[in-house]
Amino acid sequence: MDDGAPTPTLNDTGPQINLLPQFAESGSLPAIDFNVVVPVVFTIMFIVWAIYTLVVTYHWFRYHHRSWFAVPAIVLHVTVSSFIILYMVSGLIL
């Protein structure tokens, strides 16, 4: 064996397999329908936001029940977050 030759790697010895033959023929990826993807993403974001808001609200009332800061902070969080979510969704209706 020649000491100057590099050792073969998996890419050199493995078979060449085309995993996406349907894209190799056309040369491009299929078009993504953003009218379907964007509402799904916003729905997932809304679900995460709703769960987060419920958990934070519970913890504020559970562990800071005597704090005068809890209720205004919750109202501010829900108001600002709702405005941002409505702003995101408003762009979907064209």
The two structure tokens encoding residue 93: 């209706």
- Identify the DSSP state of 32: P
Tens digit of each residue's pLDDT, the chain (94 residues):
556 666 656 655 656 665 566 555 555 666 777 777 877 888 888 889 889 989 988 888 788 766 777 788 888 989 998 888 878 777 655 4
C-alpha 80/C-alpha 76 separation (Å) is 6
Assigned domain for 62 exists: yes
Supply the range of the domain harboring residue 73. 31-90
> For residue 23, is it within any domain?
no
Q: Which pTM value belongs to this model? A: 0.55
Whether 15 is in a domain gets the answer no
Query: Which alpha helices (DSSP H) does 1-94 contain, by range?
Result: 10-13, 21-26, 34-63, 70-90
Look at residue 48 and tell me if it is in a domain.
Answer: yes
Structural domain total, the chain: 1
**Has residue 6 been placed in a domain?**
no
